[in-house]
Structure 1
Amino acid sequence: MVLTVSKRVARRRAAAAVAAGALPCLAFPAPALWWFAYVALVPWMLLLRSAPTGRRAALEGWLGGAGFVFAVHHWLLPSLHVFLFVLAALLGALWIPFALLVRELLGGAPSGGRAAAALVLVPSGWLLSELARSWQGLGGPWGLLGASQWQVAPALRLASVGGVWLVGLVVVAVNCALVLLVAIPGARAPAVAGVTGCAVLTGVVWLWAPRPEVSGGLRVAVVQPGLVADGPDAPERRFAIGEELTRSLAGQRPDLVVWGESSVGEDLTARPDLARRLADLSARVGAPLLVNVDARPADRPGIRKSAVLVGPGGPTGDRYDKMRLVPFGEYVPARALLGWATSVGKAAGENRVPGGAQVLMDLPGRADVRIAPLVCFESAFPDMSRNLVRDGAALLVDQSATSSFQGGWAPAQHASLSALRAAETGRPMVHATLTGISEVHGPSGERVGPALSTSAREARVYEVPLARGTTLYVRFGDWPVGAALAALAACCAAGGVRSVRLGTPAGTPAGTPVPEPLGELPSKN
């Protein structure tokens, strides 16, 4: 009977871990309950601190991580099918260090010193998992916890100092302080100090961090053709709709017209008629067009996605080939081993070829403006926009297409990233898509003008403020990541965290015989 009850408890804890790990997804768009991020981790952390052994905490960290990955990426299910479950299970393991830190530092009745250490080391453990999964081969930095704060002005100011990483550290620290406050009465002083410290940090940054100095502006037109029914002639029909919408801009005096990702379906060298039509549009509206060609170039092998600038005389020669491709969507990692994914979901039938370097484009007629193109989920990578601004970018432009995920959370999640990148770099960012959501954010991350929804078929001109100067994030980069890793390394080197014995209950002195926990009793025949 004891065995049956213990197994039931273990199963309930496992289910609770998955559900608790999934809770933070509600802080991201489309629900966009940004405030929920500051309490969303509390149920999961309470479960982890009560784990009977380190082994159990590791399992519940893994399950919670899998729940988080699945919830934040659930809109991929129609494309990846069963492979999304496999992906969530693999990436979920990245939260095991976080889980072990929670149990070690928050389990039992921690001393004031251990509670204070938890406020630094537990957020650092979370950041460690985010850093690991930010590698492109594991899907990239989509769904970083700090990105849930894209519409909160004080959080965007924090991003200008330490990027999305600093925002994430503050969010997890607040969750950790709440756990101390709720579950450990003796740790109320460190808990209050932790919340107060986060508030003071945010206030100091708000008052002291340099703000972008607005200097002039740019009239940027975004062309969103909307949904086009699938079919062999879909690229041509989409091109024709974009052409018609762009013509409507004549007389509105834009400085730049931006089309979305894959807005041109054939190589312009192989189709000079398309190049002429784009050149005629440029002459008609009096501005260059930044289009995106998804095709096999005549002069290079493989299929590429390329941002191409076109003026009244045709393509200017400025071209950027997308560097960071979407795993499975644009290439299949280790295709010889994982090629079966193409038969299960909508994985790429042929690997696209990545570009070799980032590119800045001079805007014709505006010697003071250099355009920095990004393609699709490259806007999720903070280092790419930072590098472009360090090289002299005045305007960040992300060309995207999320038409495969209409009706889900993907368009809103993707559009929100432009606010973070703008705030981090102090440069405005244009997020132009084929089917919405298209929007523009100013140099502090604030939205400029109305967004174009997923139901819109429209061309709209935005008055985009330009800015001078550099943010601290552009100047110093990912220093919060280095600080977090240094804190973990220093604490381990100094023996501040006990060596984790997976089968040992929290608080048990080394060398003490440990009985098997009820949830892991061996079965009896």
Structure 2
Amino acid sequence: MESLSDGRERWRTRPRLSADTAAGLLASARWRGVLAVVLGALPALAFPAPSLWWFAYVALVPWILLARSAPTGRRAAIDGWLGGLGFMVAVHHWLLPSLHVFTLLIAALLGLLWAPWGWLVRHLLGGVASPWRTAAALVVLPSGWLMVELARSWEGLGGPWGLLGSSQWEVGPALRLASVGGVWLISALVVTVNTCVAVLVVAWAARTPGTSRSAAARTIPAAAGLVAVATVTTSAWAWAPHPEPAGKIRVAVVQPGVIDGSGSADKRFAREEALTRDLAGRDLDLVVWGESSVGYDLAERPDVARRIAVLSQEVGADILVNVDARRSDQQGIFKSSVLVGPNGPTGDRYDKMRLVPFGEYVPARSLLGWATSVGKAAGEDRRRGERPVVMDVGDGLKVGPLVCFESAFPDMSRHLTNEGAQLLLAQSSTSSFQSSWAPEQHASLAALRAAETGRPMVHATLTGVSAVYGADGERVGAPLGTSASTTATYDIPLAKGVTPYVRLGDWPVHAALAVLAVLCAAEGVRSLRGPAKGRFRRPAPEPQGPHARTAHGSQAHPWH
């Protein structure tokens, strides 16, 4: 009978399934592309509505393991592209009913941004990665990911919706990091953790009696990386200045809810009017309506302007409305935040500057105008505003308005804060996507903008989700869901002071550019010196076959 010690020895020396072999079994030539799409889509579960924020720290690991197992750099780039396609479709899947097949086309084009990232994964982690290449991967892969996020953050490519760091909108330590380096710093650290976990998984799967020391050496950079992430997060928590209290204001949000049928603009206005009138006597400083809350140019409809002014008199506060209408001077259709006081419009108006591609204009309409025939793309291009505006409300309160998708852009709220805004406002509408993840995803962005700038932010919508966040990014009061047709009053603490992010800007992105420049220089030197002398050589294949030898001379098992 086999002794207990013999059994333990057999278990210790049993054939082990390496990470690359497992990936190879799962990803045959026929199914590898499909698997890449599915694995790339996994991080979407970390965003609202699922909001599995903790999943973001391991969601990239399967994708990384797949790309590192690619037989060639070209195949790894394809894995990166298809994974990016899967991610973009998953994060923007709620656009499918509006743009149909065009959503897949856009996702396929944007997915190409991840092709270099997939190549980098294999270049640095493929084969038996040395400690040096592993250490480089912990810096280069997050930097490469930031370049992808930076490129797709351009308005013309859809804007910064679904940045990986945005998934941490309800995590206190992450919000503190946002005050130091914006959403970019959070994204970089999330990718770093994923890379560390992937390295540890590979090292664990590669363990054999003869390679334990080698595998342990390769895990040192990964362990050090996890320690570094914990240190950075702890340091930010302790060092980053907390918002300094600067009084309180009382703001009401008016959410009319879904209005269907003909004459919806008139019905919506009547509902907003009735809800606002009920706010009388609450000692308000400001009332905020959602995006497209007024469907008429106030200069052309002075009767509507007078009705809003009467409401301002009744509630004792200015009202910030949003006008979605053709200007009386025939300049075109603008989306404008307009402040109305007891005497009518105050003259403070902000015209939306960054428009939603296909939703509010069609890029290169002469070429892509056919999108209007297969989906709900804009039939007429909206006009752009020229500059951001900080408005004076009541007793010297300065507010910085943004319209809808502009709340996704960190630079816009940062600019308004530098211009003196004490309160950030986003007027939004996601009524076309009521039963999707979009309303909750959109509302969550305000938490990041508040934490980055150290200024509270109000996210007011027509149909939910409306929410308010304090200067530290923490929620103030209860949000208004997509089924609500009501008002809510919020006592919002103001703050003063300047966060490191407002002062220093997008420094994580600049650091990532520097890292990639150093990598390119190192690769250039390597190519000049010859592959045998360079530090970052082509990934060495892992031992294969029953008689292969490891770096320590021990025999490798075919399932190693």
What is the distance in 1 between the residues matched to 2:29 and 2:425? Answer: 49
Query: Which amino acid in structure 1 is aligned with residue 181 of structure 2?
Result: G
Relative to structure 2, which stretch is displaced further, 488-497 or 449-458? 488-497
- Alignment partner of 2:55: what SS? helix
| Pair 1:242–1:108, CA change in 2 (3 A) | same
Relative to structure 2, which stretch is displaced further, 207-216 or 435-444? 207-216
1:424 to 452, 456, 468: 452
1:310 to 325, 336, 340: 340
Shift of 1:7: 13
Deviation per CA, 1:455-490: give whole Å up to 9, x if none: 001111100110000000000000000000100101
- Alignment partner of 1:374: what SS? strand
- Alignment partner of 1:257: what SS? strand
Alignment of 1:65-104 (within 5 A): 65-104=84-123
Query: Which amino acid in structure 2 is aligned with residue 324 of structure 1?
Result: R
Deviation per CA, 1:302-336: give whole Å up to 9, x if none: 10000000000000000000000000000000000
Alignment of 1:330-349 (within 5 A): 330-349=360-379
| Pair 1:17–1:7, CA change in 2 (3 A) | closer
2:238 to 207, 231, 238: 207
- Alignment partner of 2:34: what SS? helix
Query: Which amino acid in structure 1 is aligned with residue 273 of structure 2?
Result: E
Structure 1 partner of 2:146 = 127
Shift of 1:507: 3.0
Deviation per CA, 1:82-140: give whole Å up to 9, x if none: 10010111000000111111101111111111111110001111111111100000000
Shift of 1:506: 3.4
Shift of 1:44: 0.2
What is the distance in 2 between the residues matched to 1:507 and 1:230? Answer: 65
TM-score (norm 2): 0.87
Alignment of 1:139-218 (within 5 A): 139-184=158-203, 185-186=215-216, 187-218=218-249
Shift of 1:494: 2.1
What is the distance in 1 between the residues matched to 2:287 and 2:354? Answer: 24
1:286 to 316, 330, 339: 316
Shift of 1:497: 9.5
What is the distance in 2 between the residues matched to 1:6 and 1:55? Answer: 19
Query: Which amino acid in structure 2 is aligned with residue 507 of structure 1?
Result: A
Shift of 1:505: 7.5
TM-score (norm 1): 0.93
Stretches of structure 2 that go unaligned for 5 or more consecutive residues are 1-23, 204-214, 532-536, 542-560
Structure 2 partner of 1:57 = 76
What is the distance in 1 between the residues matched to 2:521 and 2:497? Answer: 40
Give the paired residue count: 498
| Pair 1:497–1:414, CA change in 2 (3 A) | farther
What is the distance in 2 between the residues matched to 1:7 and 1:494? Answer: 34
Alignment of 1:22-61 (within 5 A): 22-61=41-80
Deviation per CA, 1:354-407: give whole Å up to 9, x if none: 10000000012x22x211000000000000000000110000000000000001
Q: Does 1:246 align with 2:276?
A: yes
Structure 2 partner of 1:523 = none
Answer whether contact 2:26 2:32 (CA < 8 A) is retained: no
Deviation per CA, 1:409-444: give whole Å up to 9, x if none: 000000000000000000000000000000000000
- Alignment partner of 2:495: what SS? strand
| Pair 1:7–1:177, CA change in 2 (3 A) | closer
Q: Does 1:434 align with 2:462?
A: yes
Q: CA RMSD in A?
A: 1.6
Structure 2 partner of 1:506 = 539
Answer whether contact 1:156 1:420 (CA < 8 A) is retained: yes
What is the distance in 2 between the residues matched to 1:6 and 1:375? Answer: 49
Deviation per CA, 1:156-198: give whole Å up to 9, x if none: 0000000000000000000000011110334211111111100
Structure 2 partner of 1:380 = 408
Q: Does 1:406 align with 2:434?
A: yes
Shift of 1:299: 2.9
Deviation per CA, 1:235-286: give whole Å up to 9, x if none: 0100000000000100111100000000000101111110010000000000
- Alignment partner of 2:29: what SS? helix
Answer whether contact 1:52 1:505 (CA < 8 A) is retained: no
- Alignment partner of 2:345: what SS? strand
Answer whether contact 1:491 1:497 (CA < 8 A) is retained: no
Shift of 1:6: 11
Identical columns (%) = 66
Structure 1 partner of 2:304 = 274
Structure 1 partner of 2:558 = none
Query: Which amino acid in structure 1 is aligned with residue 522 of structure 2?
Result: A
Q: Does 1:473 align with 2:501?
A: yes
Q: Does 1:112 align with 2:131?
A: yes
2:476 to 448, 453, 473: 448
Structure 2 partner of 1:224 = 255
What is the distance in 1 between the residues matched to 2:284 and 2:329? Answer: 32
Shift of 1:10: 1.2
What is the distance in 2 between the residues matched to 1:396 and 1:226? Answer: 23
What is the distance in 1 between the residues matched to 2:252 and 2:195? Answer: 44
Structure 1 partner of 2:547 = none
Shift of 1:214: 1.3
- Alignment partner of 2:28: what SS? helix
Q: Which has the larger radius of gyration?
A: 2
Structure 2 partner of 1:319 = 349
Q: Does 1:258 align with 2:301?
A: no
| Pair 1:9–1:168, CA change in 2 (3 A) | same
Structure 1 partner of 2:553 = none
Query: Which amino acid in structure 2 is aligned with residue 404 of structure 1?
Result: S
| Pair 1:351–1:143, CA change in 2 (3 A) | same
Answer whether contact 1:119 1:194 (CA < 8 A) is retained: yes
Answer whether contact 1:52 1:506 (CA < 8 A) is retained: no
Shift of 1:496: 8.0
Structure 2 partner of 1:516 = none
